[in-house]
Amino acid sequence: MKMNIKTLKIITVSLMLFIVLLLFAAVFNLVSLARVSSREARLLRDIDAAQARIAQNYYEIGYRQSDENIERYARELLNMQRRGETAFVGR
């Protein structure tokens, strides 16, 4: 069987449109992938920064709860002293 020219043209145009649509979809997906990858990298940096702040806060909490810090605070800011100690006030 012989295809007529009109049917052949329709098939050719249809295939060309299909290829163009495939190319458009591929480019669109690549752009979307790049955008998502960029956002993922930014979120990972934010997570690292937050974890560093959490670690610093744990250190700070530990120091502030230590006996050494509580005694320093009581002596310097509350002017407290131990029994039998004499406090000197500089002028």
Residue 83 lies in a domain: no
**pLDDT tens per residue across span 4-51:** 888 999 999 999 999 999 999 999 999 999 999 999 999 999 999 999
Residue 25 lies in a domain: yes
Residue 57 lies in a domain: yes
**SS3 call for 66:** coil
CA atoms of 39 and 33, how far apart (whole Å): 10
Look up the pTM and report it: 0.55
Residue 45 lies in a domain: yes
CA atoms of 48 and 69, how far apart (whole Å): 29
Number of domains in the chain: 1
Residue-number span of the structural domain to which 43 is assigned: 5-77
Residue 26 lies in a domain: yes
CB neighbourhood size of 45 (10 A)? 10
